Amino acid sequence: MAHVQQQWAAAERSYQEALQIKIEFNDRYSQALTLHQLGRVAEDQRQWDQAVAYVLPAAAIWASYNDHQLGLALRTLVRLRQAGGQGDIAARLAETLEISMEESEALLARVSNEQ
């Protein structure tokens, strides 16, 4: 609710608390959505680097589960690259997902073309 109401500090605190609980219970899959939400809070505040830092691990988790939610993270990364001039997103994604730079660029291009 704090996120919707743009109460950024409260939203981040709530998501951080949720993330710690998921870490304690070793619920890796659920950590991804919480990380993504933290990324969205940072994005909404135009904190591009912080947003990318949260979304990349979410993408890695979803990729490890071969989950369709990876598309959500990729769309967010495309938005962040467009909004914040984050030119190194493809390289960071490639490193995070352990794929080639070409594969990373292709993933981002495909998602960008779908929007």
Max Cα–Cα distance, the chain, nearest Å: 39
Which of 14-23, 27-36, 81-90, 98-107 is least confident?
81-90
The domain locations on the chain are 8-114
In terms of Cα–Cα distance, which of 78, 61, 66 is closest to 19? 61
pLDDT at 87: 74
> Is residue 1's pLDDT more than 50?
no
Percent of the chain with pLDDT over 70: 92
Percent of the chain with pLDDT over 90: 85
The answer to whether the beta carbons of residues 26 and 62 sit under 8 Å apart is: no
CATH for 8-114 is 1.25.40
Tell me the mean pLDDT in the region 46-55: 96
As a whole number of angstroms, the distance between CA 33 and CA 54 comes to 10
